[in-house]
Structure 1
Amino acid sequence: MTEEWLIECLRGIGILFIHPLLYVSIIIALAIGVLRVQRERRDFNIRIYRKSTELRQLLPQGILWGLILSLFTLGTGLVIPPAVLVIIGAVSILLALTLKMRFLSPAYSVSISFFLLVILYTYGGEIEWPFFGEYFRDIDTPVYPTVAILLGLLLFAEGFLIARKAIKKPSPGLVISKRGQTVGRYSSRRIWMLPLFVFIPGGDLPAPFDWFPVFSLDGQSITPIVIPFLIGFSQKVQGMLPETAIKASGRQVILLGTVVLAVAIGGYWYPYMSIISVAIGLIGRECIYYLRKRSDRNLPIYFSRSKLGVRILGVIPDTPAQKMGLELGEIVTKINGIHVTDEREFYKALQKNRAHCKLEVVGNNQQIRYVQRALFEGEHHELGLLFTENQTKETDQVG
């Protein structure tokens, strides 16, 4: 029996490599990187992060969370109808093609698929499907509680990915404020792929557990397969430090996933609770997006000119500025003992001593600190700092 399970699991893993979502996610991650670099070059005449940054983040954390959720789905015997997996895959591809990463949240892809399943059960009985027809003919109920439970699990994973990984390497940009001033704004666009082990009905393997009170398989035969699920995220921040805003979004999504999962488990006994849980996930995720957006816009613009000195909008990787421990949002008040109030004065003071640099900095905690470092030939001639005064002709208008 153990050998049979091992063979079927290996076959299930092979499904991942023929699933179109795997290759769509790679293409989308590369496209996001290319568009980001184009914007960075337009605003600052330099590429800040490599084009492959988003692609590098596609799988490592996705695999980790895929394993965590797989332990839950395999251990509890969570069975997902094949028709649902086909619909989720198709919906995810369509949403990915929009390049609006926030629509790749499972709150949209899984919720839309859930309600499409209800419609197909009601009105799709006479449709002749050219592909996967046998899957859709096997739909025997309009509501599958396991789909709502899957939504809660994926939302939970999304929240942790946002809070832990979306905060890394957000991309700065320049926009025009309502007062016509050039100000800074950060954006984070991410896509993760979670390879998830799930059971589908049918096959030659007997159910491993019949004792679990919620996800009982009722003695049916099953097949384990690995299905990729896409999770996307997008957020723009101009009223506070990006790390603070993005972490807050992640915590809210974790809370939403917990609520959805709790309500969805009740759907095993009361099917209408599954519908309620999916609606909570869809509406709740949309509310999180709009409330965070409105809250940020109501705040004073964080990355704008300061009376104290020049505010750091960004730090280019592997430059003297990064090695000196400078952070975005901090304000440089003096360089080599010379007080500076704008970018022009900053670089003028820097040129007076090309061998050594000492900065007086007001940190994000409002405390003054001093950083200094010897400068070497071949290093970035501007230390690797970005300021909001890098004005360009094609900046966006802040709404």
Structure 2
Amino acid sequence: MSILLEGLWNLAEAVGQLFLQPFYYISIILIMLMYRRQFLLERKLFHVRLQSWLGQTWRTVIGGLLAGIGVSVVFAFVGMTLTMEGIICIWAVTLVLLLIRVRYLCLAYSVGLLGVAQFILNLFPSFEGAQWIGEIVRIVRELNMPVLLCLVAIVHLAEGLLIRWQGAKSAGPLFFEGKRGRMVGGYQMQNLWAIPLFMFIPAQTAGDILPWAPLFGGDAWQGGFSVLALPIMIGFSEMTTGLLPETKSRITSGRILGYGLIILVLAILSAWWNPLILLTALVAIILHEGLTWLSRIEEQQHSPLFVNPKGGLKVLAVLPGSPAEELGIIIGETIIKVNGVPVPSQEELHAALRINPAFCKLEVLNLAGESKYLQRAIYAGEHHLLGAILAPDEKTISAVKLRPLSLLQLLNPKRGVSGSSGGYRASTSTKSQEQVVEQYIESIHEGAEKHEY
């Protein structure tokens, strides 16, 4: 009973610590800024609001909280030896990386770099440094790298599950240039989750001991335990023009889960054989980058999915609560006839709907290429295209230009309209397909790609 009471008291203190730390609030503010930029980009391209950026923020905060509870429970049996100095050190490295690229906002990069730095410092044990440099050297040397690398792995496992659950729900449609300046449709999928972790750590003073033996720490746990709040952020950003968002999210989720398992095995082995720490730190960074490049290359190999076929209109997105959603139209389907009239263009679709302003009948090709017939009454004030956002055509003038996104750009929401958003910038352009592909290789995933801190 005393162990339970002490655990609850320590947990209450950790919750208090969490709400006193600025890092958790910084995480939520970054989430709000990212979704705000996405909202502005949608208004720029489609002149409608597809989703509420506040609603998206709330949904991801709840998802992050649930993930934090799950990771905390798992890590209670792993054992965490991390001080507040260590937390500040990790955040400092992450914020420096964030100034370079938003997608470097990732625990894998910050912990990996700290692992490499610790290895280099250990090669020169006599080096201590002076004043604040000496303090940083001491903190880096004292970091328990096997535990931190294990944390990276477990957090990525949680991220993979969150992507499977919420990844496609936040996908935002966009336009960008295709072959010979032709616009094509696509999706950017961006998610950030603020995750509060509550870690059991060995206490410096005597107290009740844990009723179980954590994987890491050994005899350190015989002196009692305490709970430390560690707010981190996880997330990902993907862009797809050749796959449905659900399919892309499922593929990304599987790869991140595999990444987490590999790092977890290496991290556990490094606890027993120190030379593996450097290898694990390098693998955490290199394999992470490899997943990013693999996704980029695969996107180039897929034919664009959201382009209008001859004689029809491809549905890129459907407004929530719209007539199109009530009719059962889903993204990727093709509208070919309305009220018996072929609709090869948006103007002809609008004209066909006006044939009978009170009722409409549609013929739609589903994802399997089979026809389905839909009908519904039309009411005054409803969207002129039933709430369907269609793939771009030759008259589309606004598209997305790809470029890296930095922290300073993220802090200026208005630049999401004429500047970049999640690594993408809305603009009008006439670049060739080769130039667009080159930009795509350099800049895709630059918005929030796989970041945790």
Q: Does 1:18 align with 2:39?
A: no
Q: Give the equivalent residue in structure 2 for 1:263.
A: 266
Deviation at residue 143 of structure 1 after TM alignment: 5.7
Whether 1:376 and 2:388 are equivalent positions in the alignment is no
Counterparts of residues 78-227 of structure 1 (less than 5 Å)? 78-96=80-98, 100=102, 102-119=103-120, 125-129=128-132, 137=138, 144-204=145-205, 205-209=207-211, 211-212=213-214, 214-218=216-220, 219-227=222-230
Distance, in Å, in 2 between the alignment partners of 1:49 and 1:97 is: 28
Name the SS for the 2:227 alignment partner.
Answer: strand
Counterpart amino acid of residue 352 in structure 1: I
Determine the C-alpha separation between the residues in 2 that align with 1:74 and 1:367. 52
> Aligned residue for 2:306?
303
Give ranges in structure 2 of 5+ residues lacking alignment: 402-430, 438-453
Moved over 6 A (4+): none
Counterpart selection for 1:234 from 229, 237, 241 = 237
Amino acid aligned to 2:168:
I
Q: Which residue of 2 aligns with 1:294?
A: 297
Question: Please, what is the CA RMSD of the aligned residues?
Answer: 2.5
Is the 1:210–1:217 contact (alpha carbons within 8 Å) kept by the matching residues of 2? no
- Cα distance change on mapping 1:181 and 1:328 into 2, 3 Å: same
Whether the 8 Å contact between 2:149 and 2:280 is mirrored in structure 1 is yes
Percentage of identical aligned residues: 28
Aligned-partner SS, 2:175: strand
The answer to whether the 8 Å contact 2:24/2:196 transfers is no
Q: Is the 8 A contact 1:164 1:247 kept in 2?
A: no
Paired letter, 2:115: F
* 3-state SS of 2:297 partner: helix
Report deviation, 1:347.
Answer: 1.1
Shift of 1:119: 4.9
**Gap change, CA 1:125 and 1:257, over 3 Å in 2:** same
Match 2:67 to one of 54, 58, 65: 65
Q: Greater CA deviation, 321-330 or 272-281? A: 272-281
**What amino acid maps onto 1:74 in structure 2?**
A
CA contact (8 A) 1:149 1:264 kept: yes
- Determine if contact 1:363/1:369 at 8 Å carries over to the other structure: yes
More helix by share: 2
The 1:321/1:306 distance shift into structure 2, 3 A limit, reads same
Change (3 A) 1:213 1:311: closer
Alpha carbons of structure 1 residues 213 and 229: separation in structure 2 relative to 1, 3 Å = closer
User: In structure 1, what is the Cα distance between the partners aligned to 2:160 and 2:399?
Assistant: 34
1:247 aligns with 2:232: no
Partners of 1:99 and 1:31 in 2: CA distance: 15
3-state SS of paired residue (1:86) = helix
Counterpart Cα distance in 1 of 2:321 and 2:194: 28
Distance in structure 1 (CA, Å) of the matches to 2:85 and 2:306? 48
Cα–Cα, structure 1 residues 304 and 328, in superposed 2: closer, same or farther, change >3 Å? same
Identify unmatched segments of 5+ residues in structure 1: none
- Distance (Å, rounded) in 1 between the aligned partners of 2:101 and 2:356: 46
Q: Write the distance in 1 (CA, Å) between the matches of 2:139 and 2:297.
A: 44
- Segment of structure 1 superposing worse, 3-12 or 387-396: 387-396
| 2:343 alignment counterpart | 340
Residues 199 and 370 of structure 1: CA distance in aligned 2, closer, same or farther (over 3 Å):
same
Q: Which amino acid aligns with 1:24?
A: I
Are 1:54 and 1:191, in contact at CA under 8 Å, matched by a contact in 2? no
Q: Do the aligned partners of residues 43 and 238 (structure 1) sit closer, same or farther apart at CA in structure 2, a change above 3 Å counting?
A: same
Shift of 1:23: 1.6
Distance 2:100 2:216 in 1: 37
TM-score by length of 2: 0.80
1:352 is the counterpart of 2:355: yes
Secondary structure of the corresponding residue to residue 59 of structure 1: helix
Report the 3-state secondary structure (helix = DSSP H, G, I; strand = E; otherwise coil) of the residue aligned with 2:396.
coil
Greater RCO structure (CA 8 Å; 6+ sep): 2
Q: Structure 1: how far apart are the matches of 2:33 and 2:139?
A: 37
The alpha carbon displacement at 1:202 in A equals 3.9
Aligned equivalents of 1:393, 1:195: Cα separation in 2: 39
Alpha-carbon distance between aligned partners in 1 of 2:139 and 2:219, rounded to the nearest angstrom: 17
Instruction: Give the deviation of 1:153 after TM superposition.
Output: 0.5
Q: Helix, strand or coil: the match of 2:226?
A: strand
Cα distance between partner residues in 2 of 1:77 and 1:291: 34
- Per-residue CA deviations over 1:303-332 (Å, capped at 9, x if unaligned) read 112124100011111211112221111101
8 Å CA contact 2:65–2:194 kept in 1: the answer is: yes
Report the equivalent of 1:366.
369
1:392 is matched with which residue?
A: 397
- Code of the residue aligned with 1:391 in structure 2: it is T
